[in-house]
Amino acid sequence: VSGGEEPEERVIEAALRPKNLHDFVGQHRVRKQLALVLEASRIRGRSADHVLLSGPPGLGKTTLSMIIAAEMNVPLRISSGPAIQHAGDLAAILSSLSEGEVLFLDEIHRMSRPAEEMLYMAMEDFRVDIVVGKGAGATAIPLELPPFTLVGATTRAGLLPGPLRDRFGFTGHLEFYSVEELELVLRRSAGLLDLKVTSAGFAEIAGRSRGTPRIANRLLRRVRDWALVHAVEQIDARAASAALDMYEVDQRGLDRLDRSVLDALITKFNGGPVGLSTLAIAVGEEPETVETVAEPFLVREGLLGRTPRGRIALAPAWTHLGYAVPAGVFG
Ligand code: ADP
């Protein structure tokens, strides 16, 4: 989910993608497990097990699927749950796959029900039933598929129905990156973009990147613009900080959505608890966006709590937004 970026930005984003597991920063556990899955399938001479990758946007799910295909030396097909509305859409994709191909399905939890059911059989038996005709005259024509590897991505594994989750041989959960890991991502990107940045400059950008490589790279490009306009040759902490203040990325890396969620919680619901859908309406977003894009980071930062009765703003959230912490607030 790149969200409203210019085409040029997408080109740069693609150029910054690591091409192999070695260049992929962080996520040590997932990387090691995945390397093992790929090695085993190479030894067996078969296509790799289906892989499910879960985690918030921008942590490297698409990048990993590209790396899997590259490491297996097979082609990659990219599609997404929302693009597959009918079982026929999926049948068309599946039946055109070549032997061993990796099929990446982003936002796999948003596929339609009939397509999902077709996918079960395809994943398990490499076969689909194409239904021809309607009503009593309908017949199912079985179609054999070449073996392929499905890489599914979802912002939350819990959003997937059990039977679909169970059909993946390997599930990797991507975690937010540490500031040190983001510095590595930024160093690599700065090298590719031919930018001079001091260590303190990298630290400043990494600290505001919400634990997310995509955001780190995006902020680096904004800082690059700023440096160009201000004729700054070398980006230090002060330059980075001045640039990012201008783009409304605060010291903790919270963006506008993060802040509006916390601000609504505090000013409209007195700090909560309030239900997810009510909170989402208050900030004018889909509940899924609030839950999978904003909340994971706010929870990790100890700013927002999820309770059985709803979402609450924790004490550091009040302080961060400049409000006095009322008595009885946790955190
Ligand atoms: P997702 O599919 O999870 O939304 P992407 O795979 O599209 O995320 O990653 C977004 C961008 O972040 C990519 O363009 C890539 O350059 C960068 N990126 C993601 N993960 C890493 C990583 N581990 N190391 C270096 N760069 C990364």
Which of 214, 221, 259, 311 does the annotation list as catalytic?
214
Instruction: Give the containing element (helix H, strand E) for 163.
Output: helix 162-165
Question: What number does the ligand 1 atom closest to the CA of 56 have?
Answer: 3
Tell me the pLDDT tens digit for each residue of 128-158.
998 888 888 889 899 999 999 999 999 988 8
pLDDT band for position 182 (50/70/90)?
very high
pLDDT at res. 115: 94
Structure confidence at residue 331 (pLDDT): 73
More confident residue, 188 or 10: 188
User: What is the Å distance from ligand 1's center to 61 Cα?
Assistant: 7
pLDDT at residue 7 tops 80? no
Q: What is the pLDDT of residue 248?
A: 83
* pLDDT exceeds 50 at position 3: no
Our mutation pick for probing the ligand 1 site, out of 59, 66, 188, counting the most ligand atoms within 8 A of Cβ, is: 59
Does 106 qualify as catalytic in the annotation? yes
pLDDT at 4 over 60: no
Residue 216, ligand 1, Cβ within 6 A: no
Which of 31, 62, 167, 224 is the catalytic position?
62
Q: Which residue has the higher pLDDT, 159 or 236?
A: 236
Average pLDDT over residues 259-283: 97
ipTM of the modeled complex:
0.99
The single residue listed with the structure tokens 């890396």 is: 253
pLDDT value for 2: 45
Closest by alpha carbon to 205, among 256, 239, 255? Answer: 239
Q: Which residue's alpha carbon is at the smallest distance from atom 13 of ligand 1?
A: 17
Name the H helices within 17-148.
Answer: 28-44, 61-72, 87-95, 113-125
- The answer to whether the CB of 187 is under 6 A from ligand 1 is no
Q: What was the pLDDT predicted at 135?
A: 86
State pTM to two decimals. Answer: 0.91
Confidence of residue 6 (pLDDT cuts 50, 70, 90): low
Based on the residue annotation, tell me whether 134 is a catalytic residue of this protein: no
Ligand 1 pocket check for 148: Cβ under 6 Å: no
Pocket test for ligand 1, best of 63, 66, 80, 173 (most atoms within 8 A of CB): 63
What confidence tens digit (pLDDT) does each residue in 27-74 have? 999 999 999 999 999 999 999 999 999 999 999 999 999 999 999 999
More confident residue, 8 or 179: 179
* CA–CA gap between residue 9 and residue 7 (Å, rounded): 5
Quick one: which atom of ligand 1 is closest to the CA of 53?
3
| Contact between 251 and 208 (Cβ < 8 Å) | yes
**Ligand 1 near 226 CB (within 6 A):** no
From the CB of 211, is ligand 1 less than 6 Å away? no
For ligand 1, whether the C-beta of 56 sits within 6 Å is: no
pLDDT at 13: 81
- Give the model confidence (pLDDT) of 152-180 as tens digits: 999 988 889 999 999 999 999 999 999 99
Query: Angle, to 10 degrees, between the axis of helix 61-72 and the axis of helix 28-44?
Result: 30
Residue 110 has pLDDT above 50, yes or no: yes
Is 62 an annotated catalytic residue? yes
- Cβ(17) to ligand 1 under 6 A? yes
